[in-house]
Amino acid sequence: MDQGGKLTYKDAGVDIKEGEKAVELMKPHVKRTFNENVLTGLGSFGGLFKLDVDGMKEPVLVSGTDGVGTKLKIAFLMDKHDSIGIDCVAMCVNDVLCQGAKPLFFLDYIATGRLEAEKIADIVKGVSEGCVMAKSALIGGETAEMPDFYSDGEYDIAGFAVGVVDREKVITGEKIKEGNQIIGIASSGIHSNGYSLVRKVFFDKLKLHVQDHIEEFQTTLGEMLLTPTKIYADACGAVLSKYEVNGIVHITGGGFFENIPRVLPDGLCAKVKLSSWEKPSVFSYLQKHGDIDETEMYRTFNMGVGMMMFVDERLAGGVLETLKAAGEKAFVIGRVAKGSGVILE
């Protein structure tokens, strides 16, 4: 209460001055992402972005929204918040890329029980880093202080991405044909899906702590689990500027079995050769110590493949070289055949 005994918003748990401080701290991070198409600064009611559609006959906007899920709990345990924003950008932008779109801009939403300016600025720092990687402008966002709704020290983050593609170049998967090669692009690790099962194995079953050093990972458990989700904007941009791609899949929740069929035409299946790429050690560790069935692993995790491209067999070599030149590890992991769903070989 103020000196006169009157109730204030701060008495109810919302600190407006701390919010103002957070905005000032995040401003330099946000401005890193601006380009000549951003027409408003931080603080406008709406973010203005000038569309650059030169050379497009019929520009189509592509949008996607997502969050980070229970990976946030690792950030809470580590009290490390400067990379989780990269995950948020990746989860949204990678989906937009699957339609062949070029990312344009991004917005974030952060909700917390008690607003701590430095922590919020760290989160936004990660968001801006992800936007720089995606060549996407961070043109707006919202930070909500919600006392009694979130536990002290906890927060949630979600994002919204918009991209653009010429209608004639939209990728839907309808052009996928029998004999197409499936090219897998390496993930950076677990990414941002399956963390409820991850926590069940590492913390509940094995009784490990985030500070524990795991020899197989050559780092602490917490650092490994917080490895940011890879953003594939440069990889997709490099390939799509040179080759026709019939389908792109972002391996997120549901792993191989739920995501690959989303682009397959009726009557076709994806045959995936499991020996065609090296799986990161975290997945074999989880499977062994969690006693998890192989099918469940591929239904839950990306297993070392964060994105897939379906291309004509004649183009596969060139696509692989282009991806490697863009700094990605890529490999032919399978082919399209008659049938349905996903077949692990």
For the chain, what are the domain ranges? Answer: 10-167, 181-344
pLDDT beyond 90 at 109: yes
Read off the amino acid at residue 219. Answer: T
Between CA 160 and CA 201 the distance in angstroms is 31
Least confident of 50-54, 98-102, 206-210, 321-325: 50-54
Between CA 195 and CA 210 the distance in angstroms is 14
Residue among 336, 188, 342 at smallest CA distance from 256: 342
Q: What is the pLDDT of residue 3?
A: 56
Q: What is the pLDDT of residue 14?
A: 74
* φ/ψ of residue 62, rounded to 5: -120, 130
- Which residues make beta-bridge pairs with 71? none
Contacts of 186 (CB under 8 A, 6+ apart): 230, 277, 304, 305, 306, 328, 329, 330
- Tens of pLDDT, residue by residue over 74-83, are 999 999 999 9
Contact call for residues 182 and 251 (beta carbons, < 8 A): no
pLDDT band per the 50, 70, 90 thresholds, residue 1: low
- Tens of pLDDT, residue by residue over 276-325, are 999 999 999 999 999 999 999 999 999 999 999 999 999 999 999 999 99
Does the pTM of the predicted model rise above 0.85? yes
- Tens of pLDDT, residue by residue over 8-63, are 767 667 777 878 787 888 888 888 888 888 888 877 888 899 998 888 999 999 99
Provide the 10 A C-beta neighbour count for residue 287.
Answer: 18
What is the average pLDDT score of the chain? 93
pLDDT beyond 80 at 269: yes
pLDDT beyond 70 at 251: yes
Q: Does domain 181-344 have CATH number 3.90.480.20?
A: no
Ramachandran region, residue 193 (left: φ > 0; alpha: ψ -120 to 50; beta: rest): beta
Q: What does the pLDDT average to over 128-151?
A: 94
pLDDT beyond 70 at 104: yes
Choosing among 3.40.225.10, 3.30.70.3040, 3.30.1330.10, 3.40.50.9100, the CATH entry for 10-167 is 3.30.1330.10
